[in-house]
Amino acid sequence: MKETLHIAMYPWLAMGHLTSFLHLANKLAERGHQISFFIPTRTRPKLASHNRHPSLITFIPIVVPHVDGLPVGAETTNDVPASEGPKIMDAMDLTQDTIGSHLSQLKPDYIFFDFTQWLPKLARKHGVKSLYYATTYMISLAYFSNQARGIPEPEFHIVTEADLLVAPPGFPCPGIRLRRYEARTLVYVFNMNFGGGMTLSERHNICFKECDVVAIKTCREMEGGYCEFVKKHMNQKSILLVGPVVPETPMSRLDDRFDGWLNGFSHGSVVFCALGSECVLDNDQFQELLHGLELTGSPFLAALRPPKGSETIESALPEGYLERTKGRGIIHGGWVQQQLILHHPSVGCFITHCGAGSLSEAMLSECQLVLFPQSVDQFLNARLMSTDLRVGVEVNKDEDDGSFTKEAICEAVQTAMDIENKVGNEVRDNHTKWRNTLLKPGLEDSYINEFVKSLQGMLG
């Protein structure tokens, strides 16, 4: 059995995916394994502080080819409007020859990937095993399982809203469901062109079928029922559990601008809102969110992208907003050091879009969670947290169109932060319980060690 593994990684070029892969790379390097991490040239500095083992984790720069319609120099989804995200996929597709050349020279044992459906075939050509690393929670795999719904191949995608409104038979938590607007959003996303004339569903299903092994970032302690459900219905594919993959604290310091500002407020008083690198709200909902933050009466820091139709955050702000919130509110339009902000003692509430990476960081913080899902797996992630684990308060939205009011934002924040509120106390206690579980000595190690052992065993 080969003791030291050499693993290449090429994640979807979105910051949440890149950081999630790098967190796993750190866990593997900690055990002496070598990692070759393909990363866009100009994006590398943003992740450098997350590399805890630079002697074992080598960043291999990749030039992201220019595609018509993309801004010059665009490398990740953070660099483009949400509607242009599929063109980042087009650009990744153009790197096949580059990745193939690297695989030929590096000769890794495995390559970890997601979305690039051509990688399993390319890897086999170079004698490399491919691992599809799903950075989301198991609940999504369980809910969207075509096998569990009795949909045979090649009809390997769910077409209608009606299908998605009902969980598959035997789903572990019968109280979990999608709203009508969520099902409609998912049907659109699953069937839209996601680069190369392929849909997201088609890419996912090819990745899943063609790879040598699937790995999910989760643990039985949190998602045992969903793990068993998936195992029952997808027993033809080897699925490994990687565990919680607890993110290490970045080695960098929080930017002085944010650190100094946060230091001016009392412990646990600041509301932090971050909706990820891909979320772009309609202008009216963007302003409603800002009014909701203002209405809480709490100091707040919001990391948001400009809304649709606006080039900058400043041009989209409600009239008089800066004057009314001067000294107690910051609206930032760029990337922020989310993990460091979450652990600042002044931050007491986190409004999150429920991306899996953000939730992993949030679960380890002492912030109260306000769940504000926007798309794809985030809807089910939010239900897992609000309905199953009961660790956060979800923002109330309209069933049909997903719209929300400033009052709904304010109510969710105040419910989560109010120590006299019954619901707030319940989610606070549950959050503490699950944080302690995830940080329990030996828990993560047991999963990572078993994961490595499985990888070694597959090499013979």
What the block records as the tokens of 155 is: 């009809």
- Whole-number Å distance between alpha carbons of 433 and 436: 5
Catalytic residue positions, numbered: 17, 114
pTM score, whole prediction? 0.92
Amino acid at 405: T
Give the pLDDT band (50/70/90) at residue 430.
very high
What the block records as the tokens of 288 is: 């409603």
Query: Which residues, 6 or more positions from 405, have their beta carbon under 8 angstroms from its beta carbon?
Result: 288, 292
* 158-183 residue pLDDT tens: 568 888 998 999 999 988 999 999 99
Give the pLDDT band (50/70/90) at residue 28.
very high
Q: How many whole angstroms from its chain centre is CA 100?
A: 27
Residue 9 bridge partners (DSSP): 37, 112
Give the pLDDT band (50/70/90) at residue 152.
low
Would you report the helix, strand and coil content of the chain in percent, each value rounded to 5? Answer: 45, 15, 45
